[in-house]
């Protein structure tokens, strides 16, 4: 923590995951709790970094904006499939398409056969959560793989206790690359995340002399690790009060 806390915030671009990083994971996506001081903390970091602060999440932009309505930084949602930068929304071409509707309908049929499964619909895809039925993971993966077999513009991606169908050209790595383009050479990306989807963002950050921090357990390429969102908050607070 000491090594990380002494980094010069003026030369960093912060890329923060949301679930499992800024907020604790919950049994369902809607059940998370946003700490009361988090919006103020993020606003202060946005000022200290001269606007170099982004949330890059699997959630949709609208969901992040719902939980953090005053967040002033860039938001990349649905694993980079959509964004809100400088107040401008950029949806993905597949958002609301017949292709997405078809896989969502098939996923709904799958979930209907197992009450413990949970379907999360997104404009650009679908997520089937199996946290309440851990043994169903392989079967969910196989079924969703079959659903997208005829859709080369969609891919299946692993998340924590979930499998997600998303656009093939969407990634958190792409979000980091897009926001780092045009930054001064001495600005380093900092990626903080807890999931397999954050590893791709860490990979591209490392090509830019970036700093990668894994939250919680799991295999990672990150050289730094924090145990929980509370530890992330502690680090962010130390950055926020730098002289």
Q: Which entry of 17, 19, 195, 198 is annotated as an active-site residue?
A: 17
Residue position matching structure tokens 């600005």: 187
User: Distance (Å, rounded) from C-alpha 121 to C-alpha 111?
Assistant: 12
CA distances for 57 relative to 78, 215, 221, 222, angstroms: 6, 14, 19, 18
- Say which residues have a Cβ less than 8 Å from residue 228's Cβ, sequence separation at least 6: 24, 215, 216
72 and 82 in contact (C-beta within 8 Å)?
A: no
CA distances for 238 relative to 1, 8, 44, 82, 235, angstroms: 10, 11, 11, 31, 5
- Say which residues have a Cβ less than 8 Å from residue 32's Cβ, sequence separation at least 6: 19, 23, 24, 25, 26, 67
User: Distance (Å, rounded) from C-alpha 192 to C-alpha 226?
Assistant: 9
Establish whether 19 is a catalytic residue: no
Helix 196-206 and helix 172-180: axis angle, to 10°? 30
Buried b (16+ CB within 10 A) or exposed e, 127-148: bbbbbebeebbeebeebbeebb
Which residues are identified as catalytic?
17
């Amino acid at each position: 923590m000491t090594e990380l806390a002494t980094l010069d915030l003026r030369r960093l671009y912060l890329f923060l995951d949301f679930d499992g990083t800024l907020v604790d994971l919950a049994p369902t996506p809607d059940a998370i709790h946003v700490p009361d001081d988090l919006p103020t903390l993020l606003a202060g970091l946005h000022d200290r970094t001269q606007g170099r602060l982004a949330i890059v999440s699997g959630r949709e932009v609208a969901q992040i904006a719902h939980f953090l309505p005053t967040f002033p930084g860039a938001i990349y949602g649905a694993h980079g499939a959509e964004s809100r930068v400088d107040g401008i929304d950029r949806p993905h071409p597949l958002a609301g398409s017949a292709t997405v509707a078809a896989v969502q309908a098939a996923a709904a049929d799958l979930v209907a056969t197992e009450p413990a499964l949970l379907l999360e619909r997104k404009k650009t895809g679908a997520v089937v959560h199996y946290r309440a039925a851990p043994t169903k993971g392989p079967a969910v993966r196989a079924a969703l793989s079959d659903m997208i077999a005829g859709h080369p513009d969609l891919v299946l991606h692993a998340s924590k206790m979930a499998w997600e169908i998303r656009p093939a050209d969407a990634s958190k790595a792409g979000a980091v690359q897009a926001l780092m383009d045009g930054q001064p050479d001495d600005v380093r990306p900092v990626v903080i995340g807890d999931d397999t989807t954050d590893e791709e963002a860490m990979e591209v950050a490392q090509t830019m002399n970036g700093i990668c921090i894994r939250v919680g357990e799991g295999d990672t390429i990150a050289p730094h690790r924090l145990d929980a969102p509370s530890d992330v908050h502690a680090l962010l607070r130390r950055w926020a009060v730098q002289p």
